[in-house]
């Protein structure tokens, strides 16, 4: 079992039992390590203690973030998440594929792809000459590649690591303030591109709702369509669909698993907290 798998199991346990606020010994027992080792491993992974992390992933924390008429900047300030290293501080440009590319399934596209490790498990990342076109968590590499090829059935594929991929993957390990611009080359409708662009404006450590995203995208009545577009996000983590939760404060579903979504939300909050 990897450290992330232990962390994921611990997070699942915390989600199921957060109302009891389980202590360190109890959670460490669930992942079969000593409390001392679990505390150290968890802090290395998240940057904060398990107790502090639990505060970030509790339903009450999410509800607090979503108080009516509270701006994202106010949310960040009120919760101590006012650090400057936010993902949206990066200049990330979205370039939609041409209508021809969209229609023909990528017939003239040459796509490089590779696998890499992230704090949240194995991933597959793919790029064209214009930017990242796909990033997904790849618990099964074969199935992940089949999904990529399903999205671009007529493209030419080559397993190789390129500079575009490397620049994007630095997001997991380097200071976000110092990264070069990350370019995205996406296949989507005009509405999907608008929704994905709106997701990029949710700051690191912040959360939003489907209705808020719909309003920001210019159609307050399109919450259901927004939900579909969020679910169709082809670039995990870089386009932060994990920051969208239900208006009730519930974490909600995630294409790559609700436990992983919770882990990412807590990890991002911990990173920002550590900077303040």
Instruction: Choose the most confident range, by mean pLDDT, from 53-62, 141-150, 257-266.
Output: 141-150
Do 107 and 221 belong to one domain? yes
Cross-strand pairs, 92: 182
* Strands 208-209, 244-245: pairing kind: parallel
Do 78 and 95 belong to one domain? no
Confidence (pTM) = 0.82
State how many domains the chain has.
Answer: 2
Do 23 and 121 belong to one domain? no
Can you tell me the mean pLDDT for 250-271?
A: 87
Residue 136 Cα distances to 24, 236, 246, angstroms: 32, 5, 22
Do 92 and 78 belong to one domain? no
Q: Which two tokens stand for residue 272?
A: 């920002």
Among 241, 264, 270, 272, the active-site one is 241
> Which structural domain range is residue 13 located in?
3-82+253-274
Do 185 and 116 belong to one domain? yes
Do 215 and 101 belong to one domain? yes
> Radius of gyration over alpha carbons of the chain, in Å?
19
Name the average pLDDT for the chain: 83
Q: What is the pLDDT confidence band of residue 77, given thresholds at 50, 70 and 90?
A: very low
SS (H, E, C) 75-105: HHHHCCCCCCCCHHHCCEEEEECCHHHHHCC
Identify which of 101, 108, 96 has the alpha carbon closest to the alpha carbon of residue 156: 108
Do 260 and 157 belong to one domain? no
CATH number assigned to the domain comprising residue 145 = 1.10.10.10
User: Catalytic residue at 241?
Assistant: yes
Do 52 and 92 belong to one domain? no
Do 152 and 220 belong to one domain? yes
- At 2, phi and psi to the nearest 5? -75, 170
CATH number assigned to the domain comprising residue 59 = 1.10.10
Do 141 and 160 belong to one domain? yes
């Amino acid at each position: 079992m990897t450290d992330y798998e232990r962390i994921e199991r611990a997070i699942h346990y915390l989600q199921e039992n957060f109302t009891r606020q389980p202590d360190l010994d109890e959670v460490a027992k669930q992942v079969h390590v000593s409390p001392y080792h679990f505390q150290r491993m968890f802090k290395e992974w998240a940057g904060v203690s398990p107790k502090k992390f639990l505060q970030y992933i509790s339903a009450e924390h999410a509800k607090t973030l979503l108080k009516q008429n509270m701006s994202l900047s106010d949310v960040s300030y009120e919760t101590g998440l006012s650090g400057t290293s936010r993902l949206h501080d990066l200049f990330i440009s979205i370039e939609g594929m041409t209508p021809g590319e969209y229609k023909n399934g990528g017939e003239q596209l040459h796509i490089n792809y590779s696998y890499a490790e992230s704090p949240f498990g194995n991933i597959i990342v793919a790029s064209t000459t214009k930017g990242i076109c796909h990033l997904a968590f790849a618990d099964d590499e074969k199935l992940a590649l089949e999904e990529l090829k399903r999205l671009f059935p007529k493209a030419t594929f080559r397993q190789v690591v390129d500079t575009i991929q490397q620049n994007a993957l630095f997001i997991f390990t380097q200071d976000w303030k110092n990264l070069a611009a990350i370019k995205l080359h996406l296949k989507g409708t005009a509405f999907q591109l608008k929704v994905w662009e709106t997701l990029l404006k949710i700051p690191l450590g912040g959360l939003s709702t489907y209705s808020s995203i719909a309003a920001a995208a210019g159609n307050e009545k399109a919450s259901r369509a927004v939900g579909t577009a969020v679910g169709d996000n082809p670039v995990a983590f870089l386009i932060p669909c994990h920051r969208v939760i239900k208006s009730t404060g519930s974490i909600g579903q995630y294409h790559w698993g609700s436990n992983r979504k919770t882990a990412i939300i807590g990890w991002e909050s911990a990173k920002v907290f550590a900077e303040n």
